[in-house]
Copies of this chain bind each other. A is one copy, B any other.
Amino acid sequence: MTPVATLQQNTAATGSGLASAPDFASTPGLDRILRIVGADLERVNRVVLDRMQSPVALIPELAGHIVAAGGKRLRPVLTLSSARLCGYEGDRHVELAACVEFIHTATLLHDDVVDESDLRRGVPTANAVWDNKACILVGDFLFSRAFEIMVADGSLKVLRTLSAASATIAEGEVHQLVTTKDLSTTEDAYLEVISAKTAKLFEAAAQVGAIVAGQPEPAERSLALFGRNIGMAFQLIDDVLDYSAQQAILGKTVGDDFREGKITLPVILAFRRGGPAEREFWRRALEEQRLEDGDLDRAIELMHRRGALVETVERARHYANSALRCLDGFARSPIREALGDLVAFAVDRPY
């Protein structure tokens, strides 16, 4: 039985039963890393299930839904494998990886409210099933739980890293909000947004692995930067996939960002490179939010015409290469190779 199968079985008991959600175990290219940290990840899943319990039944119900749908577990895997890369053999990384996943899950719950999106990863978001109020409050609960787990761990350095990351994430989310529907958003502003809202947690996740392993500053900094780079690559590809026909074929939603007026790099590039008629289209669709049938197809077509998607993928590859270079200082080992797979996956994944 794979770790994730176990998780799904357990969460099915909470009533969500989303057995068809994409999961880590079924992800091609990640089997090497899973062979190394799979047992740890199974323990993380148990901690997650255990620590989301509450006498208030709605909390495990709703949290179970989003955890079951919760995808690829990249962030906790980063903590686990970063600790392993540093030769760590204790147990602290398991609880802290769960804590990283809780922060991520809380963000997802609040993001669902924020985005008013109906679908996330092809399954109904928690919001489509429960209402906004519950999502906000259960998110707050998971976030507080994350801090309780950290405090129980007892390392002020870990606490400093993850509380600063949490503040940065929230700052990035607000920053994203104020750039929404604003086509004057610069590439730099966009990169600041994704660095804060996404890359920061990847960075902290990897860094925490180094901290529990008691690594010296340079190694800790390398792993933090590794996490940051993989996070940047991951988000850039995420933004491409929202305009991907392939994604649609796989039954995932596309166009969420478009409908919400999110200004991502593919949009910035297509807008900047487009002629007057194209710019007019982007303004109507994204700034004025006057959407017509066929607009998403036209947006995708314009992005292809202007090379915006290809260019965004290239930027992602650049961050991926930077991530790989961050591992240079570590001795060659199966886990170092496997972390390379993780980097490749961040860029080449189909969803």
Listed in ascending order, the chain A residues whose CB lies under 8 Å from chain B are 54-59, 110, 113-114, 132-134, 136-138, 140-141, 143-145, 147-148, 150-152, 154, 156, 159-160, 163-164, 166-167, 169-171, 173-175, 177-178
Complex contact A114–B140 (CB within 8 A): no
Taken together as a complex, chains A and B put the C-alpha atoms of A58 and B176 apart, in Å, by 11
Complex contact B163–A141 (CB within 8 A): no
A sample of 18 inter-chain contacts (CB < 8 A) reads: A54-B171, A56-B175, A110-B136, A110-B137, A113-B133, A114-B132, A114-B136, A136-B136, A138-B170, A138-B174, A140-B166, A143-B166, A144-B166, A144-B170, A148-B160, A148-B167, A151-B160, A154-B156
Complex contact A137–B177 (CB within 8 A): yes
Complex contact B137–A151 (CB within 8 A): no
In the assembled complex, the CB of A131 is this many whole angstroms from the nearest CB of chain B, namely 9
Complex contact A56–B171 (CB within 8 A): yes
Q: Which one of B113, B152, B167, B174 contacts A145 once the chains associate, using CB atoms below 8 Å?
A: B167
In the assembled complex, the CB of A178 is this many whole angstroms from the nearest CB of chain B, namely 5
Complex contact A140–B110 (CB within 8 A): yes
User: Known interface pairs A58-B178, A59-B171, A141-B171. Does A163 touch B136 (Cβ–Cβ under 8 Å)?
Assistant: no
Q: Which one of B57, B114, B144, B150 contacts A133 once the chains associate, using CB atoms below 8 Å?
A: B114
List B contacts of A152 (CB < 8 A). Answer: 160
Complex contact A113–B141 (CB within 8 A): no
Complex contact A144–B156 (CB within 8 A): no
Taken together as a complex, chains A and B put the C-alpha atoms of A163 and B143 apart, in Å, by 9
Taken together as a complex, chains A and B put the C-alpha atoms of A213 and B5 apart, in Å, by 50
List B contacts of A147 (CB < 8 A). Answer: 147, 159, 163, 166-167
List B contacts of A55 (CB < 8 A). Answer: 171
Q: Which one of B56, B140, B159, B173 contacts A178 once the chains associate, using CB atoms below 8 Å?
A: B56
List B contacts of A113 (CB < 8 A). Answer: 113, 132-133, 136
List B contacts of A163 (CB < 8 A). Answer: 144, 147-148, 150-151
Taken together as a complex, chains A and B put the C-alpha atoms of A55 and B188 apart, in Å, by 14
